[in-house]
Amino acid sequence: MSNWQPIPGKIQTRWAQQVDPACPLPEYPRPQMRRPAWLNLNGMWDYAIQPRADETMQPVQGQILVPFAVESALSGVCKPLLPEQRLWYRRSFNIPANWKKQRVLLHFGAVDWHCELWCNGVWVGEHRGGYDPFTVELTTSLRFGAENELIVAVWDPTDSGRQEHGKQTLNPDKIFYSASSGIWQTVWLEVVPNNYIERLYLTTDIDSGLLRVQVDLCDGQGLPQTCSLQIIVKDGQAAFTTRSNHPLVEITLTNPRLWWPHDPFLYDLEVSLLDGETVLDCVESYFGMRQVTLEKDPNGIPRICINHDPVFQYGPLDQGYWPDGLYTAPTEEALIHDIQFCKDLGMNMIRKHIKVEPARWYYHCDRLGMLVWQDMPNGGKLPHTLVLGMGFILNLKLRDDHNYPRFGREDPAVRENYRQELKAMINNLSNHPCIIIWVPFNESWGQFDARSVTAWLKAYDPTRLVDSASGWFDQGCGDIYSVHKYVGPGMPKPERSRAIALSEFGGIGLNEPGHTWVTEKLFAYRMVKSREELTAWYLRLMEKLEKLKQRGLSAAIYTETCDVEFEVNGYLTYDREIMKMDAGAIRAAHERLIGNKD
């Protein structure tokens, strides 16, 4: 029986008391590739924080609730992990008897940052990267009919290193927040046959009515020549089936129903690997028929289009932090809450800022029709304050293809790590119709070679647009000229080949006593004293945005969904208990700005 409790001392959300320590976040973690046979390993694990040089786990120091970061209240530990230390985890588990003679995979949603794994004393793999899922096979190291032991060791230098770490810092202050080290997404086991479907790549072409399904197979014992793929597309009323001997299958849909923010229709998809008529493996998925393009309006101004229709996009900067779980939402209900909140306020877009969420977050955006601009988490370092001022105040252009030490990218291995983690993020998220724009760099933090990164990104994923350098320093590439202006709003002159986006503005703060992370050093770009004053300020900003939209603005992003630690400039307080403005007036303003469809 566990005696787990959230560590007190900071504010918490109402969902903290709903966390089940026996199995928090029990939902299937990968909605776009579902199999029925799986085992959730979330729950109480043994842990120890030891010197980094230690090669084995020493005596247990207590228990930690996985998948909450060791620094979080919901972990039951709430201790820092220093760069000279490693965090060790241990748990035991049993394998269902009917899994015998099949392959057993161990999946991690995300572990920050470098982890190594042992099963029953056998080293089974390692992974570097804090934001992408990874898998190791346990089959040959397992004991069927007996208890198995899993050990995980994690090293995370946070912002003392040059790896991608987002806004995490060892010394939180202002716009930088608490570290979230170690396991912070679901851990789970899955059983698969010897030959199985490893991955799906889904792309759509609405002009041709095409769905392209690229299937990666893992053929552990050599794939029989008699094998084929069966693809079934379901629209809720009918099903279309096709068979193919090739890993790339093209399916033409008659009169396809498109995916829109106001009508986020999703087709169900079933992919089977067959040997003759025998099903070797089967996964369930889904997709949305939608297309993202940059097209000129009648005045020759480039606009961001969904399914060839210009859609003005408006929504919040969303950092995905929780006062009790830090990087990890306490429950599925909490995970959905912020998306639904934005939808209910009449917004149609979220910029996921310098963080990657679990797959279920994007699934909910897919089904609710929330457009997503996805940031790549920053690494490297911030340039000197004087350099930043050149971008922030003077809006000067500073080249990023030399003088790499300025951005903390002098080590070629660090630059290569960025590229690997960027590619992993795209591979992980590319099937989600909600994601329409990639943002590889934000405000020059760790920025380097933006032109070549953008060229690679557009070639690797030609189905989306790229906001190459959000804020500064713009390199004249990509699909969007992206500016930050606090409090704003404002915009430069429209360009001939790129859309204009006000990708950060606002940041107006209001202190709600009793609902803040700290009581001192509160931060906002401008402070007001009442909800009435904040609402009035905000409505004036909306009126200005309507004029900028007429001049050529394609999107705007307000800072931010909710307060985060020292920041108090959210629509919501950090605990999600108080909406700081008049919701009815704000929603009406958003609907006027966007022009929402019924």
pLDDT band at residue 102 using 50, 70 and 90 as cut-offs: very high
The amino acid present at 362, given as its one-letter code, is Y
What the block records as the tokens of 309 is: 């229709």
93 to 87, 111, 148: CA distances (angstroms): 20, 20, 5
What does the buried/exposed string (b/e) look like for 12-21 if buried means 16 or more CB atoms within 10 Å of the residue's CB?
Answer: bbebbeebeb
- For residues 296, 300, 301, 305, the Cα torsion angle rounded to the nearest 10 degrees is -10
Helix (H, G, I), strand (E, B) or coil at 130: coil
Smallest CA-to-CA distance from 157 within 85, 55, 57, 77 is with 85
- Please give the share of the chain, as a percent, with pLDDT higher than 70: 99
Task: Find out whether 286 and 306 touch, Cβ atoms under 8 Å.
Answer: no
Q: How far is CA 469 from CA 361, 377, 424, 495, 548, in A?
A: 25, 13, 20, 16, 21
How many Cα atoms occupy the beta-carbon half-sphere of 467 within 13 Å? 34
Please answer whether residues 214 and 200 qualify as being in contact, where contact means their C-beta atoms are separated by less than 8 angstroms: yes
Cβ–Cβ under 8 Å, residues 24 and 67? yes
> Looking at the predicted structure, is the pLDDT value of residue 1 above 60?
no
Q: Is the pLDDT of residue 407 over 90?
A: yes
The count of other CB atoms within 10 Å of the CB of residue 48 is 19
* C-alpha–C-alpha distance, residues 580 and 598, integer Å: 27
pTM: 0.97
Domains and CATH numbers, the chain: 292-594 (3.20.20.80)
Residue 319: predicted pLDDT: 97
Check residue 398 and give its pLDDT. 85
- pLDDT exceeds 60 at position 95: yes
- Give the pLDDT confidence of 525-576 residue by residue, as tens digits: 999 999 999 999 999 999 999 999 999 999 999 999 999 999 999 999 999 9
Sheet holding 267-275, edge to edge: 239-244, 227-234, 267-275, 278-287
Say if residues 166 and 377 touch (Cβ distance below 8 Å).
yes
Range 393-419 average pLDDT: 90
State phi, psi for 530 to the nearest 5 degrees. Answer: -150, 160
Question: What is the distance between the alpha carbons of residues 28 and 524, in angstroms, rounded to a whole number?
Answer: 38
597 — pLDDT class (breaks 50, 70, 90) = low
Taking the C-alpha atoms of residue 345 and residue 225, their distance in angstroms, rounded to an integer, is 55
159's tokens: 């912002």
Question: Distance of alpha carbon 575 from its chain centroid, rounded?
Answer: 21
Residue with the two structure tokens 């007190």 = 8
Q: What b/e sequence results for 488-505 when a residue is b if at least 16 CB atoms lie within 10 Å of its CB, and e otherwise?
A: bbebeebeeebbbbbbbb
DSSP label of 486: S
Distance CA 62, CA 452 (A): 47
Tokens coding 43: 């729950």
- Write down the mean pLDDT value for the chain: 95
* Token pair for 412: 């070629």
**Could you tell me the two tokens for 490?**
């404002």
Task: For 454-501, write each residue's pLDDT tens digit.
Answer: 999 999 999 999 999 999 899 999 999 999 999 989 999 999 999 999
**What is the Cα–Cα distance from 20 to 16, expressed in whole angstroms?**
9
The reported pLDDT for the residue numbered 598 is 43
User: What's the per-residue H, E or C state across 153-205?
Assistant: EEECCHHHCCCCCCCEECCCECCEEECCCEECCCEEEEEECCEEEEEEEEEEE
pLDDT score for 596? 59
